Amino acid sequence: MKNILVLVSLGLAVWFLAEIGLKDSLAADIPQTFTTNEGKTLKLVWSDEFDGVGLPNPQKWGYEYGFVRNRESQFYTREREKNVYQKNGVLTIESFKEHFEENGQTAEITSGSITTEGKAAWTYGRIEVSAKLPKGRGAWPAIWMLGTNIREIGWPKCGEIDIMEYVGFNPTQIHATVHAGDAGKHTHTSKGSFIRIPEVEDRFAVYAVEWTKDKMDFFVDDELYFTFKRGDRNIEPWPFDKPHYLILNTAIGGAWGGAKGIDEAIFPCRFEIDYVRVYQ
């Protein structure tokens, strides 16, 4: 019996040390600092490597729910592992063509949208996401941010930072856009640009914004392709000196994503995220 207890104890000790070693190894693989395009060194302040199994960490992520915006076709589900799940170090947002009923609402397409609203938000820094994009006409994945005061002053006055938008009917074209309230006769103003990157549906690329008090620089795989400077638009109030939270989602159809219809062959439609990292 004593020999058995010794063997069990040794086994537990080896397992414990292996776990510590694995965690240390994973932590060592994550860059703790980042040097920006302008040579400033930032420190890692928040990240999710999606190393768990099942639903994403509820301390870091919440969900949008229902039919939310832009006349999109999908119903965003909440805490439904079929639509949002972690596996093998990757978070997948998966969209399905399926009949779905919940809380008196009916949908024929389900998808996921996760958000750090009420859990984490940032003013300035580098926000980067490694992701592989879904393919096909009708898919509209996005990596973006909204001002935390949206429920008080509304959109677009709260500010919106689109780090990455992609519409499946226009493959290889990656968009970044900044939205805000207009100080003139219009309520909304925006400025954006795009870059063509091959094979973004077949590999992971890093989408990032480097945000300071005077400007935002947007990158794909550290290639700078768009800069938005304070003064580029007549904005009032200026929202980009206040905290913004992060959203990761796949819309299906809608005002832009559905401009050329929805190809039902895209389902199931997968938006895969390897990690999210924030440096300040």
Q: What is the predicted pLDDT for the residue at 234?
A: 87
CA distances from 248 to 45, 55, 70, 130 (A): 19, 14, 16, 12
pLDDT digits (tens, 9 = 90+) for 93-119: 999 999 999 999 999 999 999 999 999
How many CB atoms are located within 10 Å of the residue 179 CB?
A: 22
Phi, psi (degrees; rounded to nearest 5) at 89: 75, 15
Burial class (CB in 10 A: 0-12, 13-18, 19+), 75: buried
Q: What is the predicted pLDDT for the residue at 163?
A: 99
Q: What would the two tokens of residue 69 be?
A: 């915006």
Q: What is the predicted pLDDT for the residue at 102?
A: 95
Q: Name residue 84's beta-bridge partners.
A: 93
DSSP state of 150: H
Q: What would the two tokens of residue 249 be?
A: 């989602």
Q: What is the predicted pLDDT for the residue at 183?
A: 85
d(CA 79, CA 74): 16
Phi, psi (degrees; rounded to nearest 5) at 104: 80, 5
Contact 148, 243 (CB under 8 A): yes
Report whether the peptide linkage leading into residue 134 is cis, meaning its omega lies within 30 degrees of zero. no
Could you list the active site residues?
160, 165
Q: Vertex 98, ends 97 and 104: CA angle to 5°?
A: 130
Q: What is the predicted pLDDT for the residue at 17?
A: 39
Phi, psi (degrees; rounded to nearest 5) at 268: -70, 145
Burial 95-114 (b: 16+ CB within 10 A, else e): bbbeebeeeeeebebbbbbb
Q: What would the two tokens of residue 161 be?
A: 């930072």
Q: What would the two tokens of residue 200 be?
A: 């973004």
Contact 34, 64 (CB under 8 A): no
Query: Which portions of the chain are predicted below pLDDT 50?
Result: 2, 5-10, 12-25
